[in-house]
Amino acid sequence: MKSRKKRSSVATQFHTVKRIDNSRLVRNVQPVRLRSFYRTAGLGALIAACLMMYIYQHFRCIDLSFQLEDLKSQQLLSSSLNSELRLEIEGLRDPQRIDVIARRQLGLTQPMPTQVQEYDAPTGAEVAAAGYARPNQE
């Protein structure tokens, strides 16, 4: 019997949701407050834009300083490589070295006086006439 009393004492509750139509409500905004809001928002946007430009310039300056240091180190390496290559070129152009290679590796010898013929240098008119006398090459 006690169990029947407990069941009857529990009341069933219903919760209904009331739908409220707020589409007809219009918020009354005062024009002075609205103008003040736009002015404040514009000022904030201007300050934010100036701050962003400062930050961009600052980081761009830092980035360019790193690039400048990299370029300076590359220039130093290029300069040292250039001097090494110039020394190597001068060593390769040395007439004594070329003479040694020609005699030992290529088997060349000094020309005999009968093998060498000297010619007079042609004048400018002779060189020009020789240039016009060439046959057409097509």
| Selected residue with higher pLDDT from 22 and 101 | 101
Quick one: pLDDT band at residue 7, thresholds 50, 70, 90? low
Query: Cβ of 102: how many Cβ atoms within 10 Å?
Result: 13
Mean pLDDT for 3-12 is 60
Average pLDDT, the chain: 85
Asked if 77 and 83 count as a contact pair (C-beta separation under 8 A), the reply is no
pLDDT of residue 128: 72
**CA-closest candidate to residue 99, choices 88, 111, 89, 87:** 111
Q: What's the average model confidence in pLDDT over 72-84?
A: 97
Q: How far apart are CA 6 and CA 9, in angstroms?
A: 5
Evaluate if residue 2 carries a pLDDT over 70.
Answer: no
3-state secondary structure of 85: helix
pLDDT band at 46 (very low <50, low <70, confident <90, very high): very high
Looking at the predicted structure, is the pLDDT value of residue 132 above 90?
Answer: no
Q: What is the DSSP letter of 115?
A: G
